[in-house]
Chains A and B, each alone.
Chain A
């Protein structure tokens, strides 16, 4: 804990702060002495009056100084810890023609930094992994651990993070080549790293291993479920190594029909080819998408997408201050029968409403238990003044998002952002707002805010001058494809929401996805476009922020027969709710495996699903699923006994189904570990930067061991010390006492 001056003194050097206060105090004391100099009081009476006045002046000086107490997150561990994790998989220890392994290279790089690094931390811990993570007593023990022909990089890092409490104070350094041989996605790893404020740093080992020609799909991402008449993005990543340049043909198939076919020039050496296509979802049903490489299908991967008519969603809408967004949101969401809309108002507003659709009173206020919030798939909070929420309410919101809920904040003005200070809500948001008081007149004007004019202003009677501005959407965001629609003539167009006012965001936090930008305004320091819409995975759920009004003016500006506003909100809410909607889905399903190797299948389901694996010959095998209380998922072990294309189907008693396709190879020819694939430098860089870390190459990060950590990694809270009734009452009592004594001693 420490304290500092705030308010008008905040930005001055400490010496100047103390000097100014001392000068003011001495001037006031001198004035007091002068005023009492000519009185005929006894010595002690004079001393009493002077003391009362001096203490009163001290109280005033405290108020003017605006002291604030700073608290940083308590360190639950003993100091700041460095965890060094060594990859001991086969790909790291195989030597090249010079007799050097990747582990040798990584160790050489680390040894240059190791001594300085370890001095900056209170303690250093070691561990190693190939398949499973094993803690070690020392650096030497970590290097000698047993190696295996598999690399469970992400799983091992997740294990280290699981042992890290939420207060953070840990950095992880991993010596690896980045070749994870599982199909595990990195989303959960990044979310856990962000939640524990633990950046990941990588020391990449490289050598001159001769890589065999290699072609394999590493990733294939599509939503499990999409709304009909929408578009979505199909993403694939093809990993390849070719000894010589050659051309390959990649095609995308939908339900056995070729959609696209394009040639790609493979250069000599390693290549990661990202593939991205926008697919239109037509009528409800199942759609099987497939990427294929080459005429003989050198590599292929398949995935099923379910197109649904509508998705029943329970939405809780809370408004903290009266705003016309209530009418607009209520009307739009009530129009869709698949949305069950419950609206509540801040009880402090004193408004008594009875809405037919509500199962609860509008004046109930935000629930204090996460169980109440979990009845809703989406919680929308507009005009939240977080300092009006109790600790229990804030904690319930946080836990709701962490356990899979979709939480969406609409924060349209600076007053609401000021109220976020020192609240759990601010820690959860994917962005950092500008501090109150830093805004200049130009930015205020660009935000559409004019100062309130005094009564009788010349502006009275004139038409409104508020203008609407359109959002700008980054093309690469995952929301952009959902904004494509068609007009009445069938011509493609893009939804363009318009806003009038916005709250300035300073920056996004690590791992946040920027979904919407201001078309003109830029953040002064970084000169980047102002963020207006951002989202981030939070635990199993998702948190999003819209720093504008709730777009009700956009609704009024659109023709009455336009459905753009309605479609936008439907698409946006559906995008948000993907983490929490009641669907049956496989989590991080494998794309490929080998015969007789056991894979763990993970299913997100409300009740025990029925899992069936069908082999290439059509023979079905039941897979019993067990519930994992920690995650809420269902897990089943699957061990294919023959090679070929397998299908695994999950179904639940309510008739929901999900299906995945897995290629089973007969032997480990296509293993990344044995194929001597090159080190995944860029992949590790992206992963590290998503968590606030990165690659360690020639020097240590400046923030290591420094006292001034970034506030979103090591948040601090400030509490005003002067802002207390005790000080006011004390000042009043001292001054009153002086006046009464002066009266008594006939000075008045």
Chain B
């Protein structure tokens, strides 16, 4: 009890002194300001788990020098200017693009240098079949950018080690945390156009991971680590 009180007092002194140091001018050293944008489409699930994006964004801020705002923004696919406010757009999927304007806008955004990361939701009510989901994304890319190609990244690609070392490859989130080989067989798919990487497709439900749905404690960390790696991959390609 007495020793606890002494420790308590020492801790108070340490905290007080530690508070002085940050106040005296040590500033954060980060790159330029950037925002996180979610692609808004006619899909009713376009903003699924968006309320938990701040967890992932704070994780990026904590572990890297990106000056990324810790809350998400929307980018309406019908408005090209909104798309072009973000270097990387996060999407639930582009299979529901129906208007000519939306397709043209997305095409133009990607041609200008934008990057699109598509992350399927692991909830089977949202994404019933991962193979069909992948086929639909591929078809849409081919439609808006004829000549684009989608290739699976090898399991030893540097994307799994460019910042965090992701042991065991792409972390998968499964419906009700039950392993499903139909999902597990998929890795990350790289979308290229005119020798430039313009996007990635994931069937691993990373957002479901950082939203912490019934997953092991470490899973959401791995999902956020994977997202950091993907973000850096997009920056460098």
Task: Show the binding face of A for B, using Cβ within 8 Å.
Answer: 7, 63-64, 66, 319-328, 330-331, 349-355, 383, 385, 388, 412-416, 418-419, 436-437, 448-449, 452-453, 455-457, 459-464, 466, 500-501, 549-550, 552-553, 555-560, 720, 722-723, 728, 731-732, 735-736, 739-740, 743, 748
Q: Is the CB of B20 within 8 A of A63?
A: yes
User: Which residues from chain B contact A736 at a C-beta distance below 8 Å?
Assistant: 10
Q: Which 6 A-B pairs have the closest CB atoms?
A: A323-B31, A560-B111, A464-B85, A321-B65, A460-B71, A321-B31
How far is it, in angstroms, between the C-alpha of A350 and the C-alpha of B75 when the chains are bound? 31
User: CB-nearest residue of chain A relative to B65?
Assistant: A321
11 contacting pairs across A/B (C-beta < 8 A): A321-B29, A327-B236, A353-B162, A412-B31, A457-B71, A464-B82, A466-B85, A552-B87, A555-B113, A728-B17, A735-B13
User: CB-nearest residue of chain B relative to A457?
Assistant: B71
Q: Is the CB of A322 within 8 A of B31?
A: yes
Verify if B33 is at the interface (C-beta below 8 Å from A): yes
User: Which residues from chain A contact B6 at a C-beta distance below 8 Å?
Assistant: 739-740, 743, 748
Q: Is the CB of B33 within 8 A of A500?
A: yes
B173-212 contact mask (Cβ, 8 Å, vs A): 1 or 0: 0000000000000000000000010000000000000000
Q: Is the CB of B32 within 8 A of A413?
A: yes
User: Least Cβ distance of B110 to chain A in Å?
Assistant: 9
B6-17 contact mask (Cβ, 8 Å, vs A): 1 or 0: 100110011001
Q: Is the CB of A350 within 8 A of B163?
A: yes
Verify if B28 is at the interface (C-beta below 8 Å from A): yes
How far is it, in angstroms, between the C-alpha of A696 and the C-alpha of B20 when the chains are bound? 50
How far is it, in angstroms, between the C-alpha of A462 and the C-alpha of B74 when the chains are bound? 6
User: Least Cβ distance of A315 to chain B in Å?
Assistant: 17
Q: Is the CB of A556 within 8 A of B76?
A: no
User: Least Cβ distance of B199 to chain A in Å?
Assistant: 13
Also in contact, A415 and B54, with CB within 8 A (given A66-B24, A351-B232, A743-B6): no
On chain B, which size bracket covers the interface?
35 or more
User: Least Cβ distance of A744 to chain B in Å?
Assistant: 11
How far is it, in angstroms, between the C-alpha of A626 and the C-alpha of B28 when the chains are bound? 53
User: Which residues from chain B contact A325 at a C-beta distance below 8 Å?
Assistant: 31-32
Among B20, B31, B73, the most chain A Cβ lie within 10 Å of the Cβ of B31
User: CB-nearest residue of chain A relative to B37?
Assistant: A464
How far is it, in angstroms, between the C-alpha of A449 and the C-alpha of B30 when the chains are bound? 14
Q: Is the CB of A453 within 8 A of B235?
A: no
Cβ contact of B54, chosen from A323, A330, A456, cutoff 8 A: A456
How far is it, in angstroms, between the C-alpha of A319 and the C-alpha of B65 when the chains are bound? 11
Cβ contact of A352, chosen from B85, B112, B113, B158, cutoff 8 A: B158
Q: Is the CB of A322 within 8 A of B70?
A: no
Also in contact, A463 and B85, with CB within 8 A (given A732-B10, A735-B13, A739-B10): yes
User: Which residues from chain B contact A456 at a C-beta distance below 8 Å?
Assistant: 54, 71
Verify if B121 is at the interface (C-beta below 8 Å from A): no
User: Which residues from chain A contact B58 at a C-beta distance below 8 Å?
Assistant: 455
User: CB-nearest residue of chain A relative to B110?
Assistant: A560
Also in contact, A327 and B33, with CB within 8 A (given A460-B71, A463-B76, A556-B113): no
User: Least Cβ distance of B61 to chain A in Å?
Assistant: 9
Q: Is the CB of A466 within 8 A of B33?
A: yes
User: Least Cβ distance of B139 to chain A in Å?
Assistant: 22
User: Which residues from chain A contact B33 at a C-beta distance below 8 Å?
Assistant: 413, 448-449, 466, 500-501, 549
User: Which residues from chain B contact A328 at a C-beta distance below 8 Å?
Assistant: 113
How far is it, in angstroms, between the C-alpha of A248 and the C-alpha of B188 when the chains are bound? 75
User: CB-nearest residue of chain A relative to B79?
Assistant: A463
Q: Is the CB of B30 within 8 A of A415?
A: yes
How far is it, in angstroms, between the C-alpha of A314 and the C-alpha of B154 when the chains are bound? 33
Q: Is the CB of A351 within 8 A of B50?
A: no
B107-121 contact mask (Cβ, 8 Å, vs A): 1 or 0: 011011111000000
Q: Is the CB of A354 within 8 A of B113?
A: no
Q: Is the CB of A462 within 8 A of B73?
A: yes
User: Which residues from chain A contact B44 at a C-beta distance below 8 Å?
Assistant: none
Q: Is the CB of B76 within 8 A of A63?
A: no
How far is it, in angstroms, between the C-alpha of A436 and the C-alpha of B79 when the chains are bound? 38
How far is it, in angstroms, between the C-alpha of A457 and the C-alpha of B50 when the chains are bound? 13
Also in contact, A324 and B20, with CB within 8 A (given A461-B73, A736-B10): no
Verify if B125 is at the interface (C-beta below 8 Å from A): no
Q: Is the CB of B30 within 8 A of A330?
A: no
How far is it, in angstroms, between the C-alpha of A351 and the C-alpha of B28 when the chains are bound? 18
Q: Is the CB of B236 within 8 A of A330?
A: yes
Also in contact, A550 and B32, with CB within 8 A (given A350-B163, A748-B6): yes
How far is it, in angstroms, between the C-alpha of A414 and the C-alpha of B27 when the chains are bound? 9
B window 135-156: CB within 8 A of A? none
Q: Is the CB of B236 within 8 A of A326?
A: yes
User: Least Cβ distance of B185 to chain A in Å?
Assistant: 27
Q: Is the CB of B27 within 8 A of A322?
A: no
Known A319-B31, A416-B29, A549-B32; 13 more pairs at CB < 8 Å: A66-B24, A320-B29, A322-B65, A327-B115, A327-B234, A448-B33, A453-B70, A460-B73, A557-B81, A558-B112, A720-B25, A723-B24, A731-B13
User: CB-nearest residue of chain B relative to A330?
Assistant: B236
How far is it, in angstroms, between the C-alpha of A437 and the C-alpha of B236 when the chains are bound? 34
User: CB-nearest residue of chain B relative to A413?
Assistant: B32
User: Least Cβ distance of B23 to chain A in Å?
Assistant: 8
Q: Is the CB of A453 within 8 A of B71?
A: yes
User: Least Cβ distance of B200 to chain A in Å?
Assistant: 14
Among B70, B84, B196, B235, the most chain A Cβ lie within 10 Å of the Cβ of B235
Verify if B43 is at the interface (C-beta below 8 Å from A): no
Q: Is the CB of B17 within 8 A of A352?
A: no
Cβ contact of A351, chosen from B21, B67, B162, cutoff 8 A: B162
Also in contact, A455 and B71, with CB within 8 A (given A352-B163, A720-B24): yes
Q: Is the CB of A321 within 8 A of B30?
A: yes
Verify if B64 is at the interface (C-beta below 8 Å from A): yes
Q: Is the CB of B84 within 8 A of A557?
A: yes
